[in-house]
Structure 1
Amino acid sequence: MDVELAAKSVSRSEELDDDGRIKRTGNVFTASIHIVTVVVGAGVLALAWAMAQLGWIPGLATMIIFACISIYTYNLVADCYRYPDPINGKRNYTYMQAVDAYLGGTMHVFCGLIQYGKLAGLTVGYTITSSTSLVAIKKAICFHKRGHQAYCRFSNNPFMLGFGMLQILLSQIPNFHKLTCLSTVAAITSFCYALIGSGLSLAVVVSGKGETTRVFGNKVGPGLSEADKMWRVFSALGNIALACSYATVVYDIMDTLKSYPPECKQMKKANVLGITTMTILFLLCGSLGYAAFGDDTPGNILTGFGFYEPFWLVALGNVCIVIHMIGAYQVLAQPLFRIIEMGANMAWPGSDFINKEYPTKIGSLTFSFNLFRLIWRTIYVAVVTIIAMVMPFFNEFLALLGAIGFWPLIVFFPIQMHIAQKQIKRLSFKWCLLQLLSFVCFLVSVVAAVGSIRGISKNIKKYKLFMYKQ
């Protein structure tokens, strides 16, 4: 009997990892796939516009430099998955937890503000992106039926309202982000619209209809002042920075890896593979789009109507964007919902309004709802939708999000955690080099943020509130 119990105990222990959780089975390949899935978003479609502002040499160099910085700093993040030792230390399950372990409570709070602020901003960006794509579908059909010179301009607002109402319903589903099919659908649709945009651009170039391009981007002239050129370059840096970011989920990816070889070693290989694949895709999308449209490259190559035919393929690409945005919105919003609801639960543990679940049955469907969840999530989605309607500017808003997240999440925290982990002496040569890299990236984030804010404010002056049409 004792032998049997011992055998069962050994068998059970073999099914668990060192932290008592079910044994993880992920590997370098699966982690690489996760990275590519996360980073291939609607921001990819703005890279052609960024290339048009920067030109061939600065544009290609910027994408490659951002990729190299990302590989280096994400490898530093990988070493901080465990504390204090990267091989045998205690696991950090979230980015914020790692910051808290290595840098303390103040930095932990700062990291949380940046992370959750960016998540909230991305939900606004996804609302804008979805409405822009829905309008593009309607325009594709309109141009096909009435000709390419027809007046086909529509308001984004009805589509934003419809998208917002759908998100209010989806927001009431507990743990929506954990639906197993969600990542698969997101991966398929994101690759579909990226490849459709690149394929249509390639067709234009191969047919000989590509526009003139320049080594240093759009030429200063009657339609573009030197100041406007500079601000556009700054905004383009933000667009590229956003496309490189997966810091908010990097530890979620690491937490899927098997324990041997050490997670940090596996993740470093995955970072190289994932970011290299991502960069190749970015270079293809950006370069082909710029080669197709030149100075007139639209902010989004699938919604700016450089392509009219085949109209069904343009529409299909935009349908894929909308499907991706519907699920991605919830993936980003659910962590924000949870942190607020956990905080409310801790503050008022005896409140029925906050904690009580009401079982409900409609026909064969059984579910439960919570009053606080219903009201707070509805208000959140409504506010996000209103902000998107006030500032429906695709490129500028994505650039702002990229600028906000790039320096703190991709550069500053990884470098500071690495310094703390390795106990690098202040003012030593390596310390100075790391701080120089951080400072340069800080300047990039600042100019990108200023450029995007300036673009948003300039566009707001051009249209009447809630009357934007594209």
Structure 2
Amino acid sequence: MGYDLEKKISRPSSNAGNSISSDSNVAEKHNGDLLAERPSQGSSYQAFFNIVCVVAGTGTLGLPFSLAQGGWIGVGLLVLSMIMSIYTGMLLIKCLYYNGHTRIASYQEVGRHAFGRWGQGAVWFFHTSVIIGVPVMFFILSGTEISELTKEKVPGISKEAWIWICCCAVSFPFVLMKTLREVSLLSIFGVLATAVLVGVAMVESIIEFPNRLPFEYDIVVVRNLPTVIATLSVCFGGNVVYMHVEEAMRHPRSFNKVLTWAMVFCCVIYSLVAIPGYLTYGPAARSPILSSLPQNASRKIATVMIIAHVLLAAPVLMTSFALEIERILNVTIEHRGRVKERIWRTIVRLVIMGVVGGIACLVPYFDSFLSLLGAFGNCMLIYVMPIGFYWKLYGWRTMKWYELGWCAIVLVIGLLGCVIGSIDAIKALHKDFTEGR
């Protein structure tokens, strides 16, 4: 079901059933020009690491808990989520080139071209919730883990204080590095940190397997499936940065291949954590899974890797959001001059960091926040909106019947995950605040 970015269907009118027009050859030529090599941009390998660093993040640590909620069917849902995410990611990037003459700059602009201001506003709402929410999740986890790691040696520093310390550390690369191309080196080290973290979680789960308590595994827990789908959507929530990753690629025609390999790589990593974690801890698996691991040297190594991942991955995601804000405010050298552009960019990014740190301190419940983020934002941005925008821009009749059927399945799953998953996550957050755990 993959798409060649050079394949161009004519620019459609408002009629969703429009067929291919007579000027499609001209449009295809323009599209090919837009996808020509960009010598000053980064390589496909850098794009791969950017995607993996953002996608294969802290959602990894919640996977054994997801299986504990939904049963072994969660493994199949994980693979299904990967396939759906690859497909909708390709559709979204294809929408950037729908008119054959210019490249749309952002997800919000895709929404505007498809449904006007309503589409733009909807994307902005969900996009902001995710692209701010994921760094919030990063800092909640890092502050919690550092606090646990240092509570005996540095007892006077609270979890909230550690969150702000992490924010300050991340502020330096976030402010100094302007684009995703410059942040690519950080993403490479972020992927390595994630790999070490996955290795520790997998090995420790396997070592603890003979000592596990007796329990029964669930095959499927139907009631919890929407919440599980919502949580799994976080594991493949890269749509918010795909446009900027593709824009920073030297060979944009390779994006579909890069995206596919990145998602497969992430799915393999997830399986290495989810399956051993659920096998060992069963219904008692916690989120993050580090909370279930024994307190030994390996656990400390895993904590250090979490901290490293936050410091290296957060700037990648937050830079994508900052670029959108700076584009709206015309924070460019052409409009502001070199000195004022630097000053404005610094102010904008420090304000963003302050907002992220403040929310992380106010909502310190990792597992419930993870579920709400996946249900509310990711299900819409990853599964629902790309299909709706593609149908509006290209026309649903340009698809084969089996593609339409597949799109319908993705839409139903996405909407169920959004509605039911959000309700369950809000109830869980209310319980967390009420009980003050």
Question: TM-score higher than 0.5 here?
Answer: yes
Distance change in 2, residues 1:431/1:103 (3 Å): farther
Distance change in 2, residues 1:200/1:103 (3 Å): same
Query: What residue identity is the alignment partner of 1:119?
Result: I
**Residue of structure 2 equivalent to 1:243:** 235
Q: Name the % identity.
A: 19
Query: What residue identity is the alignment partner of 2:289?
Result: I
- Structure 1 residue 375, shift from structure 2 partner: 5.7
Q: Is the 8 A contact 1:170 1:176 kept in 2?
A: no
Measure the CA separation in 1 of the matches of 2:76 and 2:355: 39
Correspondence for 2:247 among 255, 268, 284: 255
Measure the CA separation in 2 of the matches of 1:124 and 1:131: 11
Distance change in 2, residues 1:270/1:369 (3 Å): closer
- Structure 1 residue 287, shift from structure 2 partner: 1.0
**Residue of structure 1 equivalent to 2:192:** 188
Query: What residue identity is the alignment partner of 2:86?
Result: I
Q: Is the 8 A contact 2:48 2:259 kept in 1?
A: yes
Q: Is the 8 A contact 2:198 2:272 kept in 1?
A: no
The gaps in structure 2 that reach 5 residues or longer are 1-32
Measure the CA separation in 1 of the matches of 2:46 and 2:350: 35
**Residue of structure 2 equivalent to 1:409:** 381
- Structure 1 residue 325, shift from structure 2 partner: 0.7
Residue 74 of structure 2 corresponds to residue 59 of structure 1: yes
Correspondence for 2:64 among 21, 26, 48: 48
Q: Is the 8 A contact 2:49 2:191 kept in 1?
A: no
Measure the CA separation in 2 of the matches of 1:432 and 1:104: 27
Q: Is the 8 A contact 1:204 1:210 kept in 2?
A: no
Q: Is the 8 A contact 2:74 2:228 kept in 1?
A: no
Structure showing greater radius of gyration is 1
Correspondence for 1:115 among 121, 127, 134: 127
Normalized against structure 1, the TM-score is what?
A: 0.73
Residue 316 of structure 2 corresponds to residue 328 of structure 1: no
- Structure 1 residue 376, shift from structure 2 partner: 5.5
Distance change in 2, residues 1:115/1:270 (3 Å): same
Distance change in 2, residues 1:127/1:24 (3 Å): closer
- Structure 1 residue 333, shift from structure 2 partner: 2.6
Measure the CA separation in 2 of the matches of 1:83 and 1:383: 35
Measure the CA separation in 2 of the matches of 1:105 and 1:386: 30
**Residue of structure 2 equivalent to 1:84:** 99
**Residue of structure 2 equivalent to 1:22:** 39
Correspondence for 1:451 among 405, 409, 424: 424
- Structure 1 residue 194, shift from structure 2 partner: 1.7
Measure the CA separation in 2 of the matches of 1:97 and 1:241: 23
Measure the CA separation in 1 of the matches of 2:383 and 2:339: 42
Q: Is the 8 A contact 2:37 2:250 kept in 1?
A: no
**Residue of structure 2 equivalent to 1:212:** 215
Query: What residue identity is the alignment partner of 1:67?
Result: M
Measure the CA separation in 2 of the matches of 1:79 and 1:334: 23
- Structure 1 residue 93, shift from structure 2 partner: 4.5
Aligned CA-pair RMSD: 3.7
Query: What residue identity is the alignment partner of 1:268?
Result: N
Aligned length: 400
- Structure 1 residue 297, shift from structure 2 partner: 0.8
1:38-437 aligned at under 5 Å gives the runs 38-56=54-72, 58-85=73-100, 90-138=102-150, 155-167=158-170, 171-173=174-176, 175=178, 178-205=182-209, 207=210, 209=212, 212-216=215-219, 230=223, 234-257=226-249, 263=253, 266-302=254-290, 304-308=291-295, 311-344=296-329, 357=339, 370=343, 377-425=349-397, 434-435=407-408, 437=410
- Structure 1 residue 131, shift from structure 2 partner: 0.7
Query: What residue identity is the alignment partner of 1:306?
Result: L
Distance change in 2, residues 1:375/1:39 (3 Å): closer
- Structure 1 residue 176, shift from structure 2 partner: 7.3
- Structure 1 residue 162, shift from structure 2 partner: 2.2
- Structure 1 residue 70, shift from structure 2 partner: 1.8
Query: What residue identity is the alignment partner of 1:120?
Result: I
- Structure 1 residue 319, shift from structure 2 partner: 0.9
Measure the CA separation in 2 of the matches of 1:320 and 1:425: 48
Query: What residue identity is the alignment partner of 1:424?
Result: W
Distance change in 2, residues 1:72/1:180 (3 Å): closer
The gaps in structure 1 that reach 5 residues or longer are 1-15, 143-151, 219-228, 359-367
